[in-house]
Structure 1
Amino acid sequence: MPLLAFLNEIHLKRQGSATSGRSRTEIKLSTPKALDEFFHETGVRVEALTTEQSRISYEGEYFPLPFGAAYRSISKTDWLVRHAPEASGYSLHMQRSGETSWTSAKDALHSSSGSAIIQNLEQVRQLAGSRGSSGEGLFFTVQCLTLKLSHLLDAPVHKPIRFHCPLIHDPHVLAPLRSIIDIIAQGLSGNAPLIKAPLALINLQQAAAHMVLQNLSHNYSHVLASHPPTPAPRQIKRAIEFIRASLAAPISLNDIAEHSAISARSLQLGFRKYKGMTPMEFLRTQRLERVREDLLDPSVPADVQHIALSWGFIHFYVFVRYYKKLFGESPQTTLARRE
Structure 2
Amino acid sequence: MNQHHSKVQRQFLAVELSSIDSARDWMGRICGPHNLEIIRPQELLFRHQGASLGQISFGVIEYSTSAQVQTQDLLHSYSISLPFTGTQYIEHKKDRIESNSQSGLIVSPGNPFSLTLSADCRKQLVRISRTAVEQKLATLLHREISSPIIFEPGIRLHNGMDDWWNTVATLQGMLKNQSSLFDFPDVWSSFQDTLISGLLYAQPHNYSQELQNRQFNRPVYLSELESMMKAHLDQTLSISDFEKAAGISREKLYRDFRTFYNCSPMAYFRNLRYQRVRERLQQPAANESVSSIAMDCGFIQLGRFAKEYQQRFGELPSESFKGKR
- Whether TM exceeds 0.5 here: the answer is yes
Per the alignment, residue 47 of structure 1 pairs with: 37
Cα distance in 2 for residues equivalent to 1:203 and 1:68: 13
Matching of residue 98 in structure 1 with residue 86 in structure 2? yes
Cα distance in 2 for residues equivalent to 1:119 and 1:29: 24
Q: Secondary structure at the match of 1:54?
A: helix
Per the alignment, residue 76 of structure 1 pairs with: 64
What stretches of structure 1 of length at least 5 have no aligned partner?
A: 1-18, 230-339
Instruction: Kindly provide the CA deviation profile for residues 200-241 of structure 1, in whole angstroms up to 9, marking residues without a partner as x.
Output: 222221111111111122222222222349xxxxxxxxxxxx
Q: Secondary structure at the match of 1:122?
A: coil
Cα distance in 1 for residues equivalent to 2:204 and 2:25: 38
Per the alignment, residue 210 of structure 1 pairs with: 197
Matching of residue 61 in structure 1 with residue 49 in structure 2? yes
* Structure 2 counterpart of 1:147, from 128, 135, 141: 135
1:238-253 aligned at under 5 Å gives the runs none
Cα root mean square deviation, aligned:
3.0
Matching of residue 120 in structure 1 with residue 108 in structure 2? yes
1:229-308 aligned at under 5 Å gives the runs none
Per the alignment, residue 178 of structure 2 pairs with: 191
Instruction: Kindly provide the CA deviation profile for residues 8-61 of structure 1, in whole angstroms up to 9, marking residues without a partner as x.
Output: xxxxxxxxxxx972331112122568447638867555332x35x632122112
TM-score, length-scaled by structure 1: 0.53
Contact 1:21 1:195 in 2 (8 A): no
Contact 1:38 1:44 in 2 (8 A): no
Contact 1:101 1:128 in 2 (8 A): yes
Matching of residue 179 in structure 1 with residue 166 in structure 2? yes
- Deviation of the 1:64 alpha carbon: 1.4
- Deviation of the 1:176 alpha carbon: 2.0
Question: How high is the sequence identity, in percent, across the aligned residues?
Answer: 18
Contact 1:23 1:188 in 2 (8 A): no
Q: Secondary structure at the match of 1:161?
A: coil
Q: Secondary structure at the match of 1:157?
A: coil
Q: Secondary structure at the match of 1:87?
A: coil
Cα distance in 2 for residues equivalent to 1:40 and 1:213: 25
Cα distance in 2 for residues equivalent to 1:37 and 1:155: 36
Q: Secondary structure at the match of 1:151?
A: helix
What stretches of structure 2 of length at least 5 have no aligned partner?
A: 1-6, 219-325
Q: Secondary structure at the match of 2:164?
A: helix
Contact 2:46 2:61 in 1 (8 A): yes
Q: Secondary structure at the match of 2:200?
A: helix
Per the alignment, residue 187 of structure 2 pairs with: 200
Instruction: Kindly provide the CA deviation profile for residues 51-95 of structure 1, in whole angstroms up to 9, marking residues without a partner as x.
Output: 5x6321221123213223222223422122355675332122122
